A = this chain, B = another copy of it.
Amino acid sequence: MGKGKATIHDISNALGIDSSTVSRALNDSPRVSKKTKKRILDKANELGYLRNSLASNLRTNKTQTIAVVLPRVSRHFFATVIAGIEETAYEAGYNVIICQSLDNLKREKKIMNTLISNRVDGIMISIAMETTSYEHFEAYRDLEKPIVFFDRPCALKDCYNIKIDNFQASYNATEHLISKGCRHIVHLSGSQDIELYRQRKKGYIEALIKHGIEVNPNYIFESNLSEQDGIASAKKILELNTIDGIYSANDTSAISAIQYLKSQNIKIPEDIAVVGFNNDPISAVIDPSLTTINQPAFQMGKIASTLLLDQINNEFSSTKIVSKVLDSELIIRNSSKRI
């Protein structure tokens, strides 16, 4: 018998103590005397015993593991959400497993399947851009285990959603540009199939209307907000030759647009002022005078995991909160005055 292969029965046999007692001792149950506990722990060390959670999980039907499913860990916003989740979860003694959907529905389904068959105790998910059907989530629900949706809300009934007030954030962002004297503001927008981008567009439009600025449909560019899209947008902006402000619904494309504009000797923010969501620390660095919308990512992670653990541990969820909307913050560094 090599090291690391011993089971509680080996300890039990070696000591003439029943395996159930060994199990209790190893779990630090108060129902075992200090003395036998010590004997058992010593023997466990001696035999190189390594706990097998698989067996324990099977028996208890609990894994002490929760999962986060999100598009990409490399995005700063999501990395920060993870940090918030892990802080809460680790304190509560839960493991966190991280899964990347890459914004791909097929992959998301596959991930859900393995999470289901591995019986994780709960799931926090920011659904893929492509996702419009929800059966794969309902299958998990059939196990009577909780799901919390964050950032990108789910249209399923009775599900927990945590999101940012995108309408208000966009309204504030656009109003900021207006207050700096911008009158021809382009909006880089994402797919209107996605609630989040609909809200961001709505906030932009409302702010214009409120300030008596005509809403020009040619100033709204809908794309996937990739780097390429950002460059394409920048080119269109140069062609228009009237633009003095950009409000971008994400920063990937905002940054590449800025890069391109700069390469064409446009000054940011003197010639064209830019406000964009701050998904990446890059935004803060690319141009010290850039204004960004700071998302409460860490807080969102904490809330998501707290809510999830709550549901895991209380059969009858006392909290009646089904949705939670967080505020964002406009970070104005050194914005130029244009008036």
Contacts and interface: CB of A to CB of B under 8 A. Distances in A.
A329 interface: no
Contacts of A73: 73-74, 79, 82, 98
A4 B282 contact: no
Interface string A88-117: 000000010110100000000000001011
A55 interface: yes
A289 B201 CA distance: 35
16 contacts: A2-B144, A3-B142, A4-B142, A48-B139, A48-B142, A50-B143, A51-B117, A52-B58, A52-B117, A53-B117, A58-B58, A73-B82, A74-B80, A97-B98, A281-B282, A285-B286
Contacts of A2: 142, 144
Contact of A54 (B79, B118, B259, B281): B118
Interface in A33-60: 48, 50-55, 57-58
Name the residue among A4, A5, A79, A82 with the largest chain B CB count within 10 angstroms.
A4
Contacts of A58: 52, 54-55, 58
A180 to B, nearest CB: 22
A67 to B, nearest CB: 9
Nearest to A145: B4
Contacts of A281: 282
Which of A3, A53, A116, A259 is the most central at the interface, judged by chain B CB atoms within 10 Å of its CB? A53
A54 B4 contact: no
A162 B50 CA distance: 28
A191 B308 CA distance: 40
A286 B82 CA distance: 26
A86 interface: yes
Interface centre among A73, A76, A139 (most CB of B within 10 A): A73
A86 B100 contact: yes
Nearest to A111: B95
Interface in A138-162: 139, 141-144
A131 interface: no
A313 to B, nearest CB: 19
A55 B58 CA distance: 6
Nearest to A141: B4
Nearest to A74: B79
